[in-house]
Structure 1
Amino acid sequence: MNPPLAASASHVLLRRMCVDDVPMLLALESDPEVMRYSTGVKPATEARRRELLDWLLEAPGLLGHWAVVADGDAVGWASLTALPGTDRIQLAYRLQRRAWGRGCATAAGRQLCDYAWRMLDVAALSAVAWPDNLASRRVLEKLGFVQAGTETHYGRDTVAYLLPRPASA
Structure 2
Amino acid sequence: MPTASPRVTLRRLQESDVPMMLAMESDPEVMRHSTGVKPADEARRRELLAWLNEPQTDIGHWAIVADGKAVGWVSLTPLEDTGRIQLAYRLCRDAWGLGCATRAAAQLCDYAWQRLDAPELVAVVWPDNHASARVLEKLGFAFSAHAQHYGRGTAVYALPRPHEPAPR
Same fold judged by TM-score > 0.5?
yes
Give distance in 1, aligned partners of 2:155 and 2:126. 6
Provide Cα deviations, 1:21-71, integer angstroms capped at 9, x if missing partner: 111000000001000000111011111112222333457321011100112
Q: Which runs of 4+ in 1 moved over 6 A?
A: none
Amino acid in the other structure paired with 2:43: A
2:151 pairs with 129, 150, 155, which one? Answer: 155
Specify whether residues 110 and 8 from structure 1 end up closer, same or farther in structure 2 by C-alpha distance, changes over 3 A only. Answer: farther
Amino acid in the other structure paired with 2:28: P
Cα distance, 1:151 vs structure 2: 1.6
Specify whether residues 59 and 87 from structure 1 end up closer, same or farther in structure 2 by C-alpha distance, changes over 3 A only. Answer: farther
Q: Which secondary structure state, in structure 1, belongs to the residue aligned with residue 110 of structure 2?
A: helix
Unaligned runs of 5+ in 2: none
CA contact (8 A) 1:7 1:102 kept: no
Give distance in 2, aligned partners of 1:158 and 1:144. 19
Specify whether residues 107 and 130 from structure 1 end up closer, same or farther in structure 2 by C-alpha distance, changes over 3 A only. Answer: same
Q: Percent identity?
A: 65
CA contact (8 A) 1:126 1:160 kept: yes
* Within-5 A mapping of 1:11-90: 11-58=7-54, 60-90=56-86
Unaligned runs of 5+ in 1: 1-5
Give distance in 2, aligned partners of 1:139 and 1:165. 17
Give distance in 2, aligned partners of 1:9 and 1:163. 25
Supply the RMSD in Å over aligned alpha carbons.
1.7
Specify whether residues 84 and 168 from structure 1 end up closer, same or farther in structure 2 by C-alpha distance, changes over 3 A only. Answer: same
Report the TM-score when normalising by structure 2.
0.91
Instruction: Tell me the matched-pair count.
Output: 164
1:109 pairs with 99, 105, 130, which one? Answer: 105
Cα distance, 1:86 vs structure 2: 2.4
Q: Which secondary structure state, in structure 1, belongs to the residue aligned with residue 81 of structure 2?
A: coil
